[in-house]
Amino acid sequence: MSEKNTIILAAGKGTRMKSKLYKVLHRICGKSMVDHVLTQVSQLQMDKVVTVVGYGAESVENELGDRTEYVVQDQQLGTGDAVLRAEPILKNSKGTTLVISGDTPLFTASTLKNLFAYHDEKKATATILTSVAPNPTGYGRIVRNDLGIVEKIVEEKDANVEEKAISEINTGVYVFDNQKMFEALHEINNDNAQGEYYLTDAIEILKQADGIIAAYKMDDFSESMGVNNRVAQAAATKVMQNRINRQHMENGVTIINPDDTYIDCDVEIGTDTIIEPGVQLQAGTKIGNECVIGAHSKIIASVIHDGVTVTSSTIEHSEMMENSNIGPNSHLRPESVIGEHVHIGNFCEVKKATIGAHTKIGHLTYVGNAKLGEGINIGCGVIFANYDGKNKHETVVGDDVFIGSNVNLIAPVQISDHSFIAAGSTITDDVSRYEMAIARNRQTNKPGYFNKLPFDSAD
Ligand code: UD1
Ligand code: CA
């Protein structure tokens, strides 16, 4: 078998994104565009994968790690020049080389595989992946002769009126005979509207040297979308989102309104889970079976076990065990672990805390830097005061404790198993097993006092 290589072009500035962030690092469903490309390419068992980086090189290398080799293109002189930067690594390869851009995030491994197969079948020197665009503006056009044979690719800015009317576009993906590609690239010049060395010019050069130029036309234009600006980024996100949602539905997840559900790549969801509209599930999230993720919940890099119900809540870097529930309108901040059958109700915030099984935290409560045991009942409006202005301190609450409404627990403080804190208490000292703590002023009632107040007397 002949060698197979890939060159990913990722050195362009991406001026049209109008961003501080390097273009190919912009995200589509939680994954950078160039990572999408590399992920698909990696499924094809390549001998060598070389990514051409330039502007922002270091950030791309941090993103992709050692899954690819890198070459640097110091000056962005065009796509043809970019491919040439890979020559030192690939020049001895006798095989075929796939060239793909880091800003076309929607191509699937299966399309790329078909492209290689077509190239082999046609015994071609170069095979261009093309598609028919509803609006071809901005893309290179495929110019064919009267017999339908590909002659060349013309860039939008260099195209005449007739060429501009062509709707078959260059997707920017090609398979080349590796050695012939580099030979042709040494012959291209930058005599064109953009003053760039165009990779696309290699096609005409190979054609004139009697090479066989094939074009593999794909059916689905949406897969070939290139992202040069934020409008295209949103359009590509939509396509990717549909793809991800469809996959989950095929796996047995109910998605009430797939057009309004935002699930990142690499999120896992078990069967018979229901996802309501407006939900966002971000990268690193795993959801078990038979959960209900209620409308407008946002879950970031968290693990949700089987049978959990999340109602309109936000969960970040946390874990919810089987059959627990939360919401509406509550927030788990990082490093919270919620035990089995725990109930967290409305307007609660939990941060860096573990909560034991069957504990109930119904309403308007803040739990921070705490370890809570099992079977605890926490009333309404309880505050774990964890911060003294300088340091965070821990609160520990044992099993089967009852904490009345409107209690403040001033950390560090330890509340032992089977104890009781009276409503309205501000607790600064530890409480022992079987004790009741009450820490508030006694009530004083003053008869007739109302009539001394400067108000009109009651009717
Ligand atoms: C390119 C194609 C066009 C095709 C379109 C498909 C050329 C000349 N044109 O146009 O025919 O229809 O893609 O999406 O190839 N890059 C570098 N170094 C450079 C310039 C670009 O690495 O000096 C990289 C960019 O980071 C990008 C890719 O090459 O990932 C394509 O460059 P871009 O400027 O986006 O080309 P298009 O104008 O989209
Ligand atoms: Ca592009």
Nearest ligand 1 atom, CA 76: 23
Q: Which one of the ligands is nearest to 71 CA?
A: 1
Instruction: Pick the atom of ligand 1 nearest to 153's CA.
Output: 11
Q: How far apart are CA 441 and CA 396, in angstroms?
A: 25
Ligand approaching nearest to the C-alpha of 169: 1
Q: Which residue has the higher pLDDT, 220 or 269?
A: 269
| pLDDT score of 102 | 97
State the pLDDT at residue 457. Answer: 59
Segment 429-443 shows an average pLDDT of: 97
**346 pLDDT tier (thresholds 50, 70, 90):** very high
Q: Which of 20-24, 314-318, 319-323, 415-419 has the lowest mean pLDDT?
A: 20-24
- Alpha-carbon span 46 to 39, nearest angstrom: 12
Query: Which ligand 1 atom is at minimum distance from the Cα of 13?
Result: 26
Q: Evaluate whether 153 touches 170 at the Cβ level (below 8 Å).
A: yes
Domains of the chain: 4-224 (3.90.550.10), 341-459 (2.160.10.10)
Of 341, 333, 406, 322, the residue nearest 370 (C-alpha): 333
CA–CA separation, 192 and 251 (whole Å): 50
Mutate to test the pocket of ligand 1, among 17, 76, 79, 98 (most ligand atoms within 8 A of CB): 79
Whether the per-residue pLDDT at 459 is higher than 60: the answer is: no
> With contact defined as beta carbons under 8 Å apart, do 205 and 136 qualify?
no
pLDDT tier for residue 12 given thresholds of 50, 70 and 90 = confident
What residues does 169 pair with on adjacent strands? 131, 141
Looking at residue 455, its pLDDT comes to 78
Whether 1 has a pLDDT exceeding 70, the answer reads: no
Residues having CB within 6 Å of any atom of ligand 1: 9-12, 24, 52, 73, 76-79, 81-82, 101-104, 139-140, 153, 155, 169-172, 198-200, 226, 228
Q: For residues 269 and 252, give the distance between their C-alpha atoms in angstroms, rounded to a whole number.
A: 9
pLDDT of residue 182: 98
**Is the pLDDT reported for residue 6 higher than 90?**
yes
Q: How confident is the model at residue 29 (pLDDT cuts 50, 70, 90)?
A: very high
For residue range 83-138, what is the model confidence (pLDDT) as tens digits?
Answer: 999 999 999 999 999 999 999 999 999 999 999 999 999 999 999 999 999 999 99
pLDDT category, 458, cuts 50, 70, 90? low
pLDDT at 125: 98
Reply yes or no on whether the pLDDT at 456 is more than 60: yes
Under DSSP, is residue 162 helix (H, G, I), strand (E, B) or coil? Answer: helix
The whole-number pLDDT of residue 210 equals: 95
* CA 315–ligand 2 middle distance (angstroms): 36
What residues does the ion ligand 2 have nearby, CB within 5 Å? Answer: 103, 226, 228
pTM of the model: 0.92
pLDDT of 296 > 90? The answer is yes
Query: Is 26 known to be catalytic?
Result: no
| Average pLDDT of the residues in 35-40 | 98
Give how far Cα 165 sits from Cα of 143, 154, 193, 218, Å. Answer: 11, 12, 18, 19
